[in-house]
């Protein structure tokens, strides 16, 4: 059985629940719902996890309960505890450089100024999978923080949830690293 980590980035607290910055949490929540996974439980004091089996994989779903800029601590704890190689770590996160609901998947690379990714890179390295979820860019650079911490509209929440459902139905494609096919289908 091979351990795989699917981790959604976000901020803890009800005030951030449907914020653009919590896109990763929303995706991981939808995957958990779609696979009828048990509820999330606190682990290590700073991360919520849930797990399920899929073919030859044990999938660990995770939501760090640190704030975004301290996400690396949770990733490090989980990969050490479950002995997960970086090439089996999939990080779902918001991206202002992509139009709303566009998805890009790649392994390794830069952090694009994303504080959660910066901390993960600094803590465990950068050779993990990144699933970038487009939230769009505000008109002015000075509005970036308020934009990512701002709430999605209801229709946008449903769209992000649909993306999470689609990913859950196609986890084998993602795990087979045939991500271009998945990316194309998500971006139709």
**Residue range 136-169, pLDDT digits in tens:** 998 888 888 899 999 999 999 999 999 999 999 9
The answer to whether the beta carbons of residues 109 and 76 sit under 8 Å apart is no
Residue 141 is predicted with a pLDDT of 82
The answer to whether the beta carbons of residues 103 and 159 sit under 8 Å apart is no
Residue 74 is predicted with a pLDDT of 94
91 bridge partner residues: 7, 130
Q: Is the predicted pLDDT of residue 50 greater than 90, yes or no?
A: yes
Residue 188 is predicted with a pLDDT of 65
Mean pLDDT confidence for 5-21:
95
- List, for residues 104-118, the tens digit of each pLDDT value: 999 999 998 899 999
**Cβ atoms < 10 Å from Cβ of 7:** 27
Closest CA to 74 of 128, 111, 27: 128
CA dist 12 and 17 (Å) reads: 8
Q: Are strands 2-8 and 57-64 parallel, antiparallel or unpaired?
A: parallel
The answer to whether the beta carbons of residues 81 and 130 sit under 8 Å apart is no
Whether 21 is catalytic? yes
151 bridge partner residues: 19
Q: Is the predicted pLDDT of residue 44 greater than 80, yes or no?
A: no
Residue 24 is predicted with a pLDDT of 97
Mean pLDDT confidence for 69-78:
95
5 bridge partner residues: 60, 89
As given in the structure block, the two tokens for residue 42 are 């606190």
Which of 21, 93, 114, 147 is an active site residue? 21
Round the average pLDDT of the chain to a whole number and report it: 92
Closest CA to 43 of 13, 63, 72, 22: 63
Q: Does the pTM of the predicted model rise above 0.75?
A: yes
Give the phi and the psi of residue 63 in degrees, each rounded to 5.
-135, 105
Residue 85 is predicted with a pLDDT of 96
CA dist 182 and 171 (Å) reads: 9
**Cα torsion through 1, 79, 67, 121, rounded to 10:** -120
Handedness of CA 170, 109, 6, 34 (dihedral sign): negative
């Amino acid at each position: 059985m091979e351990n795989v980590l699917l981790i959604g980035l976000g901020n803890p607290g009800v005030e951030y629940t449907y914020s653009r910055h919590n896109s990763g949490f929303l995706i991981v929540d939808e995957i958990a719902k779609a696979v009828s996974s048990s509820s999330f439980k606190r682990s290590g004091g700073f991360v919520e996890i849930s797990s399920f089996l899929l073919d030859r994989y044990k999938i660990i779903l995770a939501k760090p309960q640190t704030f975004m800029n301290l996400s690396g601590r949770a990733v490090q704890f989980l990969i050490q505890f479950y002995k997960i190689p970086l090439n089996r770590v999939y990080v779902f996160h918001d991206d202002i450089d992509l139009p709303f609901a566009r998805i890009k998947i790649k392994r390794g690379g830069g952090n694009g100024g994303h504080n959660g990714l910066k901390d993960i890179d600094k803590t465990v390295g950068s050779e993990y999978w990144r699933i970038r979820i487009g939230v769009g860019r505000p008109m002015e650079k000075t509005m970036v923080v308020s934009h990512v911490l701002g709430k999605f509209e209801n229709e946008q929440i449903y769209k992000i949830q649909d993306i999470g459902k689609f990913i859950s139905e196609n986890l084998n494609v993602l795990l087979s690293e045939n991500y271009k096919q998945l990316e194309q289908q998500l971006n139709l």
